[in-house]
């Protein structure tokens, strides 16, 4: 088989307008200084509670550099690498796509303040796939003519998939007091006063820095911290597979054996912190990990 090598590079850009977003049309005004009116007394329609509405006020952009390298060698070695460097920005996530503290219900009175990194944005995404047919067997480089030896050592193939991605964004919020509350549907953000992530990075106890956030005054319950201002740790995983087909009474019928190890190096990948409210206990602490190494064996009969 001849050598084949392809390299593709592309720019992808999209701009979205008129996306459906949600809000509380009966969102209350903040209390004035030295004022402590009830939430209901500050609503535009005081005889009603929350009034959830949807309208086409959503906007978003996506810009990405995408590359693909594909190379096939004569010795049964195949390599494919896909890389994306991107940035996605919007003013609200989809209603069922609000991850890690983000909220699909916006600040009804100040929609531009909700513009920020999209909750699905991962700037770096790289996947490397390698396939290799080991060169031992009847029809391979190092021929094995003995049928018993070929059944044991010949015809094996391996595949490796290495995935590296940036962590997902984290939206830092806080729980407002009754005096500061403007709606039960929204999640106001605090002020940012320092580096949101500790330099230690992956420490399970101290990942997000509580000292980097302060609660705003009740007269301005929406703090200065941008939406999705922090990011979970990067994700790394290596999957490995070993496979071989045992021919039966014809070439169209064979028994395939596969051994697969997911997260073969057993790397610890932390799930995003479950508590992202700056004035709650356990703020920014990891409480779960993504799956550890998993090994599975399989036999498949093809006939």
From the CB of residue 196, how many other CB atoms can be counted at a distance below 10 Å?
21
* Contact (Cβ atoms closer than 8 angstroms) between residue 3 and residue 43: no
Question: In what helix (H) or strand (E) does residue 167 lie, and over which residues does it extend?
Answer: none
Lowest-pLDDT choice from 35-44, 141-150, 291-300? 141-150
Q: Which pTM was predicted?
A: 0.85
How many CB atoms are located within 10 Å of the residue 209 CB? 19
The mean pLDDT of the chain is: 90
Instruction: Write down the H helix ranges in 119-168.
Output: 147-153
Residue the block writes with tokens 């919007």: 90
What is the C-alpha to C-alpha distance for residues 251 and 214, in angstroms, rounded to an integer? 70
pLDDT band at 73 (very low <50, low <70, confident <90, very high): confident
User: Across the strands, what pairs with 149?
Assistant: none
């Amino acid at each position: 088989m001849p050598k084949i090598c392809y390299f593709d590079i592309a720019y992808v850009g999209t701009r979205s307008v008129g996306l459906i977003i949600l809000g509380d049309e009966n969102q209350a005004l903040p209390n004035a200084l030295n004022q402590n009116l009830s939430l209901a007394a500050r609503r535009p329609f005081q005889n009603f509670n929350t009034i959830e509405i949807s309208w086409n006020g959503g906007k978003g952009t996506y810009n990405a550099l995408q590359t693909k390298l594909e190379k096939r060698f004569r010795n049964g070695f195949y390599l494919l690498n896909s890389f994306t460097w991107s940035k996605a920005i919007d003013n609200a996530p989809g209603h069922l796509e609000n991850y890690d503290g983000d909220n699909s219900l916006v600040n009804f009175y100040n929609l531009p303040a909700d513009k920020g990194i999209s909750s699905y944005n991962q700037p770096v995404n790289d996947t490397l796939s390698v396939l290799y047919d080991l060169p031992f067997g009847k029809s391979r480089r190092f021929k094995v003519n003995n049928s018993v030896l070929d059944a044991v050592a010949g015809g094996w193939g391996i595949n490796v998939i290495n995935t590296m991605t940036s962590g997902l964004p984290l939206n830092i919020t806080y729980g407002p007091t009754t005096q500061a509350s403007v709606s039960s549907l929204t999640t106001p953000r605090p002020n940012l006063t320092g580096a949101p992530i500790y330099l230690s990075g992956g420490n399970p106890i101290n990942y997000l820095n509580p000292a980097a956030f302060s609660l705003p005054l009740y007269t301005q319950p929406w703090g200065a911290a941008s939406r999705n201002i922090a990011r979970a740790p990067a994700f790394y995983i290596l999957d490995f597979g070993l496979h071989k087909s045992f021919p039966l009474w014809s070439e169209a019928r064979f028994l395939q054996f596969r051994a697969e190890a997911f997260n073969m190096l057993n790397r610890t990948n932390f799930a995003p912190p479950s508590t992202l409210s700056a004035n709650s206990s356990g703020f920014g602490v990891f409480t779960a990990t993504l799956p550890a190494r998993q090994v599975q064996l399989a036999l498949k009969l093809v006939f």
